[in-house]
Structure 1
Amino acid sequence: MRKNSKALKVLSAQGFYRHVGKKGKIYKKEWTNNLAIVKTYDVVILSEEDYFNLERQAELWSKRGVISILTREEKGCTVYIDGKPTDVSGFPAEKVIDATGSGDIFTAGFAYAFRRSGKIYESSMFANALSHLSLRVLSNRVKYTEEDVRAFLISKKIHINI
Structure 2
Amino acid sequence: MRAKTTNVYETLRARFAAGEYAPGYKLPSERTLVEELGIGRTPLYGRCVLVSSPRDSCGSSETAKEAHRVLRTALRAACREKLSSRNVAQVVPAPQVEPRELCPWSLDESLAFLEAARSNPLYPAFVLAVALGLHHGEILGLQWRDVDLDGEL
Q: Taking structure 1 as the reference length, what is the TM-score of the superposition?
A: 0.27
Q: Taking structure 2 as the reference length, what is the TM-score of the superposition?
A: 0.28
Name the structure where helix makes up a greater proportion of residues: 2
